[in-house]
Structure 1
């Protein structure tokens, strides 16, 4: 059963995510480069959080495991390059 605290966390997470999206959309100057690169104005920590969050996708652990299995541990760093 979902408790009140669970709902608060869900709503707060959604609000933060939508807020960041709205903020980034407001800064868009209208061209494709500005959209995909956020006008080159995003702070380093937000880009880092985004990069780390990408590793939680469903397929990423499978890919990294296959790379390490076939080519060794050093291949683990390939996806950062």
Structure 2
């Protein structure tokens, strides 16, 4: 799954889930949502070149502050920048 597909569907995932993605992060990065308690899966994904990106709860908070209702490619880019610089 692409990172942008996950970011545009945040409400489809559990609040406790975590997003991991392949670096360098961009909308087309390979990504996966890890639902707890699948901590062993995180280690497998990290061996596959993916790293922690953000928790779904944090991404939803960012979305709540997003101006307007539409979450699009610009939203994805800004959330990626947030994850890189501020999370």
TM-score by length of 2: 0.28
Higher-helix-fraction structure? 1
- Structure showing greater Rg: 1
TM-score by length of 1: 0.29
Which structure would you say has the larger RCO, counting Cα contacts within 8 Å and 6 or more residues apart? 2
Higher-strand-fraction structure? 2
